[in-house]
């Protein structure tokens, strides 16, 4: 079937380049954003573009099922294999910086199946409606909150992360204003001891961990020198707070070890590990010892069957914490060890696919928020099958005006998690990338 790809827009930031294509197939069309990280550009030996694509560049770049692709201005030439399995760049002569990036993007874009290119419109609508709904719940001071006004710091970080996952930044995009307000609020919550939050905030280590994830992604994009140094200071002190708050066994509790009598439990440990990894990815120094102690803690919480217990003191193996711990181990660089293999088998039996994805669980959103990250990193057919089931469930359960409801923690919480899950394969956030 005939299809056309047309360069529609181009934007850049400190960490990635995003090219936006209009894909048309018959009467149907959709916009597809393709993010290219700075690492991807460097690996390909490409320079970061400096100019936006003007109207003269918005011409057809691909047409027909097996025709040649002629690129912008200076001779990108790519051809599709007769099998239709892939696109290959075969020649490029004196390409401009923008041209080289478009060439690389075409390889990524046009290698997608028609189903991938044209079947995600409903997901895009779902995400946009739900992020708009989230925007309506943001307070004038920049924060979001859970039921009964709880978890302000955690909810703000999660909602902001969901908007970053859409591709917006503090300066560009549909949700740039909301993200700026969220950053301002969380920076104002940074304490001299490094805690992002306040002692009266319910279970403040959750908010601290999620804030490290959110602010580190913003830090990587920030181009204002003064603001960037401010974020560097906040995150550096946040990492130190994590080190100081870690328990003697290597975990974390709802509050710091000093304030919680050295109590620890699994779910807060996961938020700290992921936050620390996000900071490290952004260039903030993180002691290897902190991560190694956390990995040991998770290992000691894991049963012989691969399930992770509520705490190192016991509490029984729990599927939601196991899924989260597996994601944390991936963040810590442990992908295919004996421990992670046991954890994956436990998840296979108790999360998916041997257990139906729609099966009820009091912590369903928490569990699948982390399990989706694991499965996305696994990739292949497993991710494709899981994503199809996940998308169907979330789209079906969305409220008519966007977002999702939750009686336990609140709409902000589940809407943020669901939007992040639906946008994992956009690849805008380094912490969730493969």
Query: What secondary structure letter does DSSP report for 47?
Result: P
Q: 244 and 97 in one domain?
A: no
Residue listed under structure tokens 């694509």: 53
Q: 142 and 99 in one domain?
A: no
Q: 160 and 95 in one domain?
A: no
Q: Which of 97, 118, 139 is the last residue of a domain?
A: 118
Q: 157 and 74 in one domain?
A: no
pLDDT at 107 over 60: no
Provide Rg for the chain, Cα atoms. 22
> Could you give the angle at the alpha carbon of 266 between the alpha carbons of 312 and 261, nearest 5°?
65
Better-scored residue on pLDDT, 355 or 111:
355
Domain that holds residue 43: 4-118
Better-scored residue on pLDDT, 240 or 65:
240
> For 232-251, what is the mean pLDDT?
97
Q: What is the pLDDT of residue 219?
A: 96
Q: Which of 103, 118, 133 is the last residue of a domain?
A: 118
Q: 135 and 104 in one domain?
A: no
CA atoms of 324 and 318, how far apart (whole Å): 10
Q: What is the pLDDT of residue 200?
A: 81
CA atoms of 16 and 35, how far apart (whole Å): 6
Q: 196 and 76 in one domain?
A: no
**434, containing H or E segment:** none
pLDDT band at 218 (very low <50, low <70, confident <90, very high): very high
Q: 139 and 106 in one domain?
A: no
Q: Which of 98, 118, 138 is the last residue of a domain?
A: 118
CA atoms of 242 and 219, how far apart (whole Å): 19
pLDDT at 300 over 50: yes
SS (H, E, C) 193-216: CCCECCCCCCCHHHHHHHHHHHHH
> For 154-163, what is the mean pLDDT?
98
The total number of structural domains in the chain stands at: 2
pLDDT band at 199 (very low <50, low <70, confident <90, very high): confident
Q: 45 and 168 in one domain?
A: no
Q: 103 and 49 in one domain?
A: yes
β pairing state of 314-318 and 308-311: antiparallel
State pLDDT tens for residues 83-104.
333 323 223 323 344 444 454 5
Q: 404 and 332 in one domain?
A: yes
Phi, psi of 225 (to 5 degrees): -60, -45
From the list 155, 32, 174, 166, the residue with the least C-alpha distance to 105 is 32
Q: What is the mean pLDDT of the chain?
A: 80
Q: What is the pLDDT of residue 34?
A: 52
State pLDDT tens for residues 308-327.
999 888 888 999 999 999 99
Q: 151 and 43 in one domain?
A: no
Note whether 263 and 308 are within 8 A (CB).
Answer: no
* CATH number, residue 167: 1.50.10.20
pLDDT at 67 over 90: no
Q: 357 and 224 in one domain?
A: yes
């Amino acid at each position: 079937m005939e299809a056309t790809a047309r360069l529609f827009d181009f934007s850049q930031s400190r960490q990635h380049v995003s090219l936006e294509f209009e894909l048309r197939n018959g009467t149907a069309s959709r916009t597809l954003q393709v993010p290219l990280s700075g690492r991807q550009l460097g690996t390909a030996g490409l320079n970061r573009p400096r100019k936006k694509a003007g109207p003269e560049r918005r011409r057809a770049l691909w047409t027909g099922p097996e025709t040649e692709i002629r690129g912008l201005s200076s001779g990108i030439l790519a051809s599709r294999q007769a099998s239709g399995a892939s696109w290959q760049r075969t020649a490029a002569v004196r390409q401009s910086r923008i041209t080289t990036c478009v060439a690389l993007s075409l390889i990524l874009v046009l290698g997608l199946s028609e189903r991938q290119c044209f079947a995600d419109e409903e997901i895009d609508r779902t995400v946009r409606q739900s992020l708009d709904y989230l925007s309506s719940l943001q307070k004038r001071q920049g924060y979001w909150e859970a039921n009964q006004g709880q978890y302000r710091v955690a909810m703000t970080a999660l909602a902001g992360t969901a908007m970053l996952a859409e591709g917006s930044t503090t300066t560009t995009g549909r949700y740039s204003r909301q993200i700026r307000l969220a950053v301002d609020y969380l920076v104002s919550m940074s304490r001299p001891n490094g805690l992002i939050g306040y002692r009266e905030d319910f279970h403040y280590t959750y908010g601290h961990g999620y804030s490290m994830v959110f602010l580190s992604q913003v830090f990587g994009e920030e181009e204002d020198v003064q603001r960037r140094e401010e974020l560097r200071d906040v995150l550096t002190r946040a990492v130190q707070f994590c080190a100081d708050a870690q328990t003697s066994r290597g975990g974390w509790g709802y509050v710091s070890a000093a304030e919680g009598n050295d109590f620890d439990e699994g779910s807060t440990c996961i938020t700290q590990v992921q936050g620390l990894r996000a900071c490290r990815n952004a260039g903030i120094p993180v002691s290897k010892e902190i991560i190694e102690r956390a990995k040991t803690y998770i290992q000691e919480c894991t049963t012989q069957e691969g399930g992770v217990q509520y705490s190192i003191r016991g509490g029984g193996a729990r599927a939601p914490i196991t899924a989260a711990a597996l994601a944390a181990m991936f963040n810590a660089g442990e992908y295919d060890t004996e421990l992670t293999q046991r954890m994956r088998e436990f998840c296979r039996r108790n999360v998916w696919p041997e257990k139906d994805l729609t099966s009820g669980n009091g912590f369903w959103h928490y569990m699948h928020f982390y399990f989706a990250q694991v499965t996305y990193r696994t990739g292949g057919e497993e991710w494709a099958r899981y994503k199809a089931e996940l998308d169907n469930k979330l789209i079906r359960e969305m409220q008519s005006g966007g977002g999702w409801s939750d009686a336990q923690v609140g709409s902000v919480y589940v809407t943020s998690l669901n939007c992040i899950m639906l946008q994992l394969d956009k690849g805008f956030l380094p912490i969730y990338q493969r």
